[in-house]
Amino acid sequence: MVGPADVTWPGELPPTCLVSGASGGLGRAVAEQLARAGATVVITSRDPGRAAATAIELAGAGDIRAMPAGLDVADANSVDAAARAVADLTGRLDVLVNNAAARRRRRR
Ligand SMILES: NC(=O)c1ccc[n+]([C@@H]2O[C@H](COP(=O)([O-])OP(=O)(O)OC[C@H]3O[C@@H](n4cnc5c(N)ncnc54)[C@H](OP(=O)(O)O)[C@@H]3O)[C@@H](O)[C@H]2O)c1
């Protein structure tokens, strides 16, 4: 079976990857696998505290580069702020995992 240890990256440096909705579910799992494969991962949540807690948890599991940022994909201002935060934190973004889904409420 193929795992994170089998991954090779095309560039000189491992990529910086942002995962939306990475505080739980599939987003967290994807973020963890990318980090275990050597990527620098930006863990995002609508709640910056939850993003920080998840990044700390992942970083505690080994040699993992995880950093937190707040991001609500349904809020354009939040998206702009997250882009600025990533530019400040890492200076680059190679991979965007657009995991979070913003659902409209159905009218009854
Ligand atoms: N699970 C499945 O069976 C399944 C099947 C088909 C497709 N999908 C899709 O796969 C993706 C992940 O699924 P999942 O089940 O892991 O999702 P989930 O657990 O419902 O949500 C994952 C995370 O997304 C964050 N989130 C929710 N709304 C957000 C928003 N507006 N902006 C930013 N983050 C937001 C939440 O974190 P915070 O509250 O911390 O922000 C949540 O922890 C979703 O796009 C889903 O539609 C899932």
Domain-embedded: residue 23: yes
**Does residue 11 carry a pLDDT above 90?**
no
**Would you place residue 32 in the very low, low, confident or very high pLDDT band (cuts 50, 70, 90)?**
very high
pTM tops 0.85: yes
Distance from Cα 71 to the centre of ligand 1, integer Å: 13
Lowest-confidence region among 15-19, 26-30, 41-45, 87-91? 87-91
| Crossing angle of helices 25-36 and 48-59, rounded to 10° | 40
Q: What is the pLDDT of residue 13?
A: 82
Distance from Cα 20 to the centre of ligand 1, integer Å: 8
Q: 39 lies in which domain range?
A: 14-97
Domain count, the chain: 1
Burial 28-60 (b: 16+ CB within 10 A, else e): bebbbebbbbbbbbbbbbbeeebbbebbeebbe
Domain-embedded: residue 35: yes
C-beta 74 within 6 A of ligand 1:
yes
Using CA positions, which residue lies closest to atom 46 of ligand 1? 101
- Assess contact for 78 and 85: CB atoms under 8 A: no
Q: What is the pLDDT of residue 5?
A: 77
Q: In this structure, what CATH number is given to the domain that contains residue 68?
A: 3.40.50.720
Q: What is the pLDDT of residue 67?
A: 94
